[in-house]
């Protein structure tokens, strides 16, 4: 699951992103500095350049995963992205997902459940969206919504949502057992930065579509959300499906951090290029003859 422990650190990092950002090391979310860059010493300019350079490496690893998927390999990767409004979930999908071949991605955004989804168990729509072999799945929101707004607003009774932590852990263990490396990132935005980003959206007509008046109401439940997030970390973090806490006030950092975590996950698969399933010399001769 984990990469090799003695692997060289990426440039600019003093601690591996996997160690520096793991929720078991960052302390509680309520005290987290959303502008911090744990483990990373570079500034915005260095981090932006690093994303391009490391993105090329990520693209190579993704192609190797894809090649294995085409060659009866059974491995895949699932990146779960959670975070409060304006934390930049969509930006992660666009700017980190955008670093690799889009054919190799299986992106799913989970909104309010549809009437059909509501007739099923809360994990039903999640199962259907899992990445097939060879792909990197990205969930923009996920089954964790069922213990976040659902819990904060009592959309189901406590006896229902309180069982979900164990159900989620069991589900994720099954997913991992089937060959999928799971990593989960929670993007942390500060109250002040969120306010600024909401105002930015209201000052730019090309961003009106991103604004939802209910986002303002959700700000009134800030402490409840922090508590709900902390419970998630306490109940569903594990080496099989680790949670990473990433400050999102500096978008360049959150993107670089997620890129590094994906690289680490892909390197941890220890894949190689698939061997030829044909006789190379014979095929060379056949092509040359035509």
Rounded CA-CA distance 73/69 in Å is 5
Q: Could you say which of 94, 127, 128, 153 contacts its own copies (CB under 8 A)? A: 94
Rounded CA-CA distance 172/143 in Å is 11
Q: How far is the CB of 74 from its own copies (least distance, A)?
A: 15
Name the E strands within 147-282: 180-188, 243-247
By CB under 8 A, is residue 115 in contact with its own copies? no
By CB under 8 A, is residue 276 in contact with its own copies? yes
Closest CA to 136 of 163, 172, 108, 164: 108
Q: Could you say which of 128, 153, 216, 223 contacts its own copies (CB under 8 A)? A: 216
Contact 77, 175 (CB under 8 A): no
Tokens for 235, please give them.
Answer: 């109940």
By CB under 8 A, is residue 139 in contact with its own copies? no
**CA angle 105–170–172, rounded 5-degree value:** 15
Contact 22, 242 (CB under 8 A): yes
Restricting to residues 222-261, which ones interact with its own copies according to CB under 8 A? none
Q: How far is the CB of 285 from its own copies (least distance, A)?
A: 10
Q: How far is the CB of 137 from its own copies (least distance, A)?
A: 12
By beta-carbon proximity to its own copies, the closer residue of 93 and 245 is: 93
Burial class (CB in 10 A: 0-12, 13-18, 19+), 76: buried
Q: How far is the CB of 116 from its own copies (least distance, A)?
A: 15
By CB under 8 A, is residue 273 in contact with its own copies? yes
By CB under 8 A, is residue 213 in contact with its own copies? yes
By CB under 8 A, is residue 8 in contact with its own copies? no
By CB under 8 A, is residue 290 in contact with its own copies? yes
Count Cβ atoms below 10 Å from residue 88 Cβ, excluding itself: 23
Rounded CA-CA distance 50/41 in Å is 12
Residues in the chain: 290
By CB under 8 A, is residue 71 in contact with its own copies? yes
Count Cβ atoms below 10 Å from residue 102 Cβ, excluding itself: 8
By CB under 8 A, is residue 288 in contact with its own copies? yes
By CB under 8 A, is residue 101 in contact with its own copies? yes
By beta-carbon proximity to its own copies, the closer residue of 268 and 274 is: 274
What does the binding site for its own copies look like in residue numbers (CB under 8 A)?
A: 67, 70-71, 90, 93-94, 97-98, 101-103, 105, 107, 109, 140, 195, 198-199, 202, 205-206, 208-211, 213, 216, 219-220, 273-278, 280, 283-284, 286-288, 290
């Amino acid at each position: 699951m984990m990469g090799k422990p003695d692997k060289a650190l990426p440039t600019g990092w003093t601690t591996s992103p996997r160690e520096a950002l793991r929720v078991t090391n960052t302390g509680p979310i309520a005290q987290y500095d959303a502008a911090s860059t744990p483990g990373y010493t570079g500034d915005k300019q260095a981090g932006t350049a690093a994303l391009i350079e490391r993105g090329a490496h990520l693209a190579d690893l993704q192609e190797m995963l894809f090649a294995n998927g085409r060659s009866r390999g059974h491995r895949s990767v699932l990146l779960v992205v959670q975070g409060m409004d304006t934390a930049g979930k969509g930006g992660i999908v666009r700017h980190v997902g955008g670093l690799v071949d889009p054919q190799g991605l299986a992106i799913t955004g989970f909104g309010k459940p549809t009437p059909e989804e509501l007739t099923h168990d809360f994990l039903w729509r999640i199962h259907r969206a899992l990445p097939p072999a060879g792909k990197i799945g990205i969930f923009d929101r996920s089954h964790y919504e069922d213990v976040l707004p659902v819990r904060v607003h009592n959309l189901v009774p406590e006896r229902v949502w309180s069982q979900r932590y164990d159900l989620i852990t069991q589900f994720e263990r099954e997913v991992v057992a089937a060959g999928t490396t799971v990593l989960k990132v929670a993007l942390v935005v500060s109250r002040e930065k969120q306010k600024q980003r909401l105002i930015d959206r209201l000052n730019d007509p090309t961003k009106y579509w991103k604004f939802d008046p209910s986002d303002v109401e959700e700000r009134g439940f800030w402490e409840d959300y922090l508590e709900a997030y902390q419970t998630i970390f306490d109940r569903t973090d594990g080496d099989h499906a680790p949670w990473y806490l990433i400050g999102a006030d500096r978008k360049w950092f959150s993107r670089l951090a997620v890129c590094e975590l994906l690289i680490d996950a892909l390197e941890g698969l220890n894949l190689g290029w698939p061997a030829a399933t044909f006789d190379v010399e014979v095929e060379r001769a056949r092509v040359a003859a035509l």
